[in-house]
Structure 1
Amino acid sequence: MIHCRNLTPNPARPIRPGSESFFFFWQPRAVCGRFTLRTPAAAWAQEFLPLWSEEEIAAAATEYAIAARYNIAPTQSISVIHTEAGASAGSRRQWSLFRWGLVPPWADDLAIGNRMINARSETVHEKNSFRKAFVQRRCLIPADGYFEWMKTPDGKQPYLIERASGGMLAMAGLWEQNKRVSSSGHAIRTCTILTTAANETTATIHDRMPVLLEGDQRDAWLDPQQDDPTALRRLLQPASNDLLKYAPVSRLVNRPGNDSPECVQVIDAPQPSPEKPPPKKPSRKPPTKKTPPTAGDGSQATLFD
C-alpha cells in the first residue's frame, strides 16, 4: 500500500452519532448544518486532488475508513481539501479529516466550535475568530448535497439541495489548529463552512446558502500565496441560479443519529414558497394628523405613505 504523507487523521474524537450531545446542533434555520457525501471517494477525490494517483486516493480512503454519508452533522470529522500555509503556488493539495466547528487557536474550550460551524462571508475578514484563517488557512469541503428546512403546518420539512446536473459541490471553508484544548498536546484541527446570501433557486427555503466554488475559483481559494482579503472576498458570491435543484426528503434526517439512505429518500411534500412577513400589530398610539406638502416647501408630494 502506498503511504500517503500529510494525512494524519484529526486527533479530536467526534461525538458519537446518536449521542445526546448531538441534539444541540439541530437548528433548522442555521445555514448548512447538515450535508451529504454519498459519492465514493474514488469518484470525487480525483476532481479535488488532481495530482494524486488512484492508488494514493484508495490508500487514503482506506486509512480514513471513508464510507457513504447521508447526514453529516457538526462535531463529526469531515473530509477537507487544503494546502499548508506558506506553500508554493500550485503545490500539491492535501486531504485531511478535520472536526466540523472551528475552534480558534486562542480558545480554551473545544465546545466553542459548536457555535462556529458557519462563518458569514460578508464579515469573515473582520471577525477575530476567522480573520487569520481567512488569509492563511482556507479549504474546500466536498459534498454532493446539503439540507435546509422549511416550516410547514405539519412541522419543519427538510429539503435536499443538490447540483442540478448531478456531481459534486465544493463548499468554501476555513480551518484552524489548536493545542490548548487537547489533553494529548497534539494540535486539533477544526473547520467551518462559509455562507452567503441565497440565490433565487434556494431563497424560498432559506435566505442563506453555503459558498459554492466552481472551476478556477477553487484554485484561487486554495492558492497559499493569495492573502489579499479584497481579492478573496470577490470569490464569495451566491451560486448561479441554475446550479442547484431541491427536493423534499424524509424527516429521518431531522435526527443527527440517523445516517442511512432513507435520509435522502424523496417524498411528496408542499413546494417551498416565500415566507410571508407576520402581520403588523395595530398601533396603540393615536393617529397623527399629517400636513400635506405645499408648493415651494422643498418636499415631494405623494399619494402613498
Structure 2
Amino acid sequence: MCGRLSQYRGIHDFVAVLSIPDALINHVGDAPLARYNAAPTTPLAVFHQQEQQLFAQNLRWGWRPHWAKDRAAPINARVEKVAHGAFFRAIWRHRLIVPIDNWFEWVDTPDNGRQPWLIRRADRSAVFCAAIGQFPTAETPERDDDGFVIITADSVGGMLDIHDRRPVVLSAELAREWLDPGTAAERAEQMLLFEGEGSEVFEWYKVDKAVGNARNQGPCLIAETP
C-alpha cells in the first residue's frame, strides 16, 4: 500500500453502512469530508468505540512509539507482526476503523514512469480499513503524538498485479466486531489474518497522474482514464 487514499463522502454516510445503532459522538462535522487525495500525516476521520459509544474524530495518519524518535512514523503495520511485535505493542488493543472511499497504488511502466491505479469496492460501498492507534479517551487527553496505522496484508488474485500489499478491509459486520472493546485480542487477530475481504470484492482502474501530487484535490482524481 503506497500511502494515498480518498475519504470524500460525509461521516454519516459511513456510519449508515456501519449500522451501529447507538448515538455517534461526532468530532469531524457533518459536511462531506472532501479528501480526494489524502497523504501520510494528514488528519483523517476514524472511528473508535468506548464502551457502547461510537466516536468519529480526526487523527493523524502515522504513529510511532515514544522510544522510536530516530525513525519516521510508519503509516502501515504488517498483519504478520502487528499483534506480537514490540513496535506496536502499546496500541495493539486500541482498535480503529478508517472509513475510506478508495485507495491508490502505483505501477511501474515500460517508459520508466509510474501509473496510478484506484482501488475501490465494486459495489461502490464504504471501505472499512482495520487500524490501530493512539487517540484521546475519557481517561487519556489528546497528545501531540496521537496517530494511527492501517494494517496491511499480502495481496492475492488480480490485485497482486497492482501492488503486493493492501489494507485489511473488513465487512461492516466484522468492522463492528473489531471496534467492540469486548472483542478479545485473539479474536481480533483472527479477523485480520483470515477474514478480511477478498480481491473479488474490489475493482481497480487507471487514474490521472495528477494524483501523484498530494496538493491536487477534487473528483477529477478518481475518474477513470484510458
TM-score range, shorter chain: 0.7 to 0.9
Please state if 1:61 is matched with 2:29: yes
TM-score where L is the length of structure 1: 0.65
- Structure 2 counterpart of 1:205: 162
Please state if 1:232 is matched with 2:182: no
- Structure 2 counterpart of 1:254: 212
> Matches of 1:119 and 1:38 in 2, distance apart?
24
TM-score where L is the length of structure 2: 0.86
- Structure 1 counterpart of 2:42: 76
- Structure 1 counterpart of 2:134: 176
SS of the residue 1:45 aligns to: helix
Mind listing any 5+ residue stretches in structure 2 that lack a counterpart?
Answer: none
SS of the residue 1:165 aligns to: coil
> Matches of 1:32 and 1:80 in 2, distance apart?
19
| Residue 226 of structure 1, CA deviation | 2.7
1:193 to 145, 150, 155: 150
Please state if 1:101 is matched with 2:59: no
Relative contact order, higher structure (CA 8 A, sep 6+): 2
Mind listing any 5+ residue stretches in structure 1 that lack a counterpart?
Answer: 1-30, 179-184, 269-305
SS of the residue 2:224 aligns to: coil
The change in CA–CA distance for 1:227 and 1:61 in structure 2 (over 3 A counts) is: same
> Matches of 1:45 and 1:145 in 2, distance apart?
16
- Structure 1 counterpart of 2:223: 265
Rg comparison, structure with higher value: 1
| Residue 49 of structure 1, CA deviation | 6.1
Please state if 1:43 is matched with 2:13: yes
Name the one with the larger strand percent: 2
- Structure 2 counterpart of 1:17: none
What is the number of equivalent residue pairs in this alignment? 218
Task: Give the letter aligned to residue 259 of structure 1.
Answer: Q
SS of the residue 1:218 aligns to: helix
- Structure 2 counterpart of 1:216: 173
The change in CA–CA distance for 1:150 and 1:217 in structure 2 (over 3 A counts) is: same
Task: Give the letter aligned to residue 220 of structure 2.
Answer: E
Task: Give the letter aligned to residue 129 of structure 1.
Answer: F
- Which of 237-246 and 193-202 deviates more? 237-246
CA contact under 8 A between 2:28 and 2:58: conserved in structure 1?
no
CA contact under 8 A between 1:33 and 1:147: conserved in structure 2?
yes
CA-to-aligned-CA distance 1:266-297 (integer Å, 9 cap, x gap): 111xxxxxxxxxxxxxxxxxxxxxxxxxxxxx
| Residue 92 of structure 1, CA deviation | 1.6
| Residue 239 of structure 1, CA deviation | 2.4
SS of the residue 1:203 aligns to: helix
Task: Give the letter aligned to residue 15 of structure 2.
Answer: A
The change in CA–CA distance for 1:177 and 1:222 in structure 2 (over 3 A counts) is: closer
SS of the residue 1:235 aligns to: helix
